[in-house]
Amino acid sequence: PIYHGQHDGGAVNVFLPGKAVNYSCDPGYSLIGEATLYCTVNGTWSIPYPRCEVMTCMSPSIQDGELAEGQSAVYHPGANVTFQCQPGYVLWGSREAQCQPNGRWAPALPTCEPALPCPPPPVIAHATPSAELGANFTSGMSVSYSCQPGFSLLGDPSVLCTASGNWSLPYPRCAVVRCPSPPNIDRGN
């Protein structure tokens, strides 16, 4: 018998020489060895016998980065890993990945891209950035804005220094807060 698998010979108990059976494994298992065995002329099955082993994922690695959590000698389905980049690089993609039953990582492994400098964050009228004046910005960093009193924020309050070294668009805006005309009252001005 083959554990975690089966052959296509069905319930037949006697096989004649020359008869072949093909083995396959249960989901989440991988066939090791030849998938086909033959009944030989001396009444034995050809060897070696195949076996089914749990699928594992390849050890995950990313250029200019490393595993921050989840190092292991073997990665079985359900294993989780977390990545980080070396100094001077920015992680693009998901920081975490999980070994799937098909032996692949999901989501796809991230990449570490060189951190490019961005110019100073955009000046937005009537807004105050969360960053200090003169600070240096590289890919992956963000700056949030808040509006001065009497103004309301329109759009996403944050801009991101992108992989190309530019600030993400569109920029937020600060619009003047306006009151509508005062209500009229009965029998008065």
| 65-114 CATH choice from 2.10.70.10, 3.30.830.10, 2.40.50.100, 2.40.50.180 | 2.10.70.10
Higher pLDDT residue, 60 or 101? 60
**DSSP string across 8-21:** TTTT-----TT-EE
Q: What percent of the chain has pLDDT over 70?
A: 99
Closest CA to 21 of 40, 32, 35: 35
pLDDT at 96: 97
**What average pLDDT score do residues 30-49 get?**
93
**Which residues contact residue 16 at a Cβ distance below 8 angstroms, ignoring those fewer than 6 apart?**
39
Mean pLDDT of 114-142: 90
CA distance linking residue 141 with residue 167, whole number of Å: 10
- The pair phi, psi for residue 53, each rounded to 5°, is -120, 150
Spatial distance between the Cα atoms of 19 and 42, rounded to a whole number of angstroms: 13
State the amino acid at position 153 in one-letter form: L
**Mean pLDDT of the region 52-62:** 93
| Domain 117-176, CATH number (from 3.40.50.150, 1.20.210.10, 2.10.70.10, 2.40.110.10) | 2.10.70.10
- Quote the pLDDT of residue 186: 82
Listed in order, strand segments (DSSP E) in 110-179 are 111-114, 117-118, 127-129, 137-138, 142-147, 151-154, 158-160, 173-176
The answer to whether 154 and 172 have CB atoms below 8 angstroms apart is yes
Identical fold between 5-54 and 117-176: yes
Q: Where are the domains of the chain?
A: 5-54, 65-114, 117-176
d(CA 2, CA 52): 7
Q: Which residues pair with 115 in a beta bridge?
A: none
pLDDT at 188 exceeding the cut of 80: no
Give the confidence band of 176 by pLDDT, cuts at 50, 70, 90.
very high
Domain 5-54, CATH 2.10.70.10 — does that match?
A: yes
